[in-house]
Amino acid sequence: MAEIQIVYREGYCDYGLPDYNTQCHTCCGEDLGCKYFLQDEITGENGIKVIPFGDCNRAKFMYKYKGWSGKRYEIEECFDPYNPQLDSMIVTLGRKEYDAVKVILDGKCIFNEFDEEKDGGAEQ
């Protein structure tokens, strides 16, 4: 039996649109054809755009905690070379799938892309 603790994210549109898509967080956000698309221009000190660029400013993530104990689970790494800000682990607990940014398996942290200061912590 394994004990798993995760911090997972759920995406949503801050504007309340039901057509939220993970691509809203990437440089392809503009290509989705959403008439409420609002590009987020992030520039560094030298005036060069900082990744992520081209994403929709209305696309947000909500972070939540989940604890679980059981035998039926799967953990798969999910790395996107074009959008490293979306790196995560797909964790399947029972029949439900989570987009985890932090995974602790049997007391050992095996994946951590979660910054509590930057991401504002997670809901209990």
Tell me the pLDDT tens digit for each residue of 59-116: 899 999 999 999 999 999 999 888 888 899 999 998 999 999 999 999 999 999 997 7
Task: Say whether 29 sits in a helix, a strand or coil.
Answer: helix
Residue 15 tokens, joined:
């504007």
Q: Name the amino acid, one letter, at 80.
A: D
**Predicted pLDDT at 31:** 84
Judged against a pLDDT cut of 70, whether residue 123 lies above it is answered with no
Could you tell me which of 115, 82, 113 has the C-alpha nearest to residue 99? 113
Judged against a pLDDT cut of 80, whether residue 20 lies above it is answered with yes
Judged against a pLDDT cut of 60, whether residue 29 lies above it is answered with yes
Per-residue pLDDT of 34-43, as tens digits, reads 888 887 666 6
The full set of domain ranges for the chain reads 2-113
Q: Return all residues near 78 (Cβ < 8 A) that are at least 6 apart.
A: 87, 88, 89, 90, 99
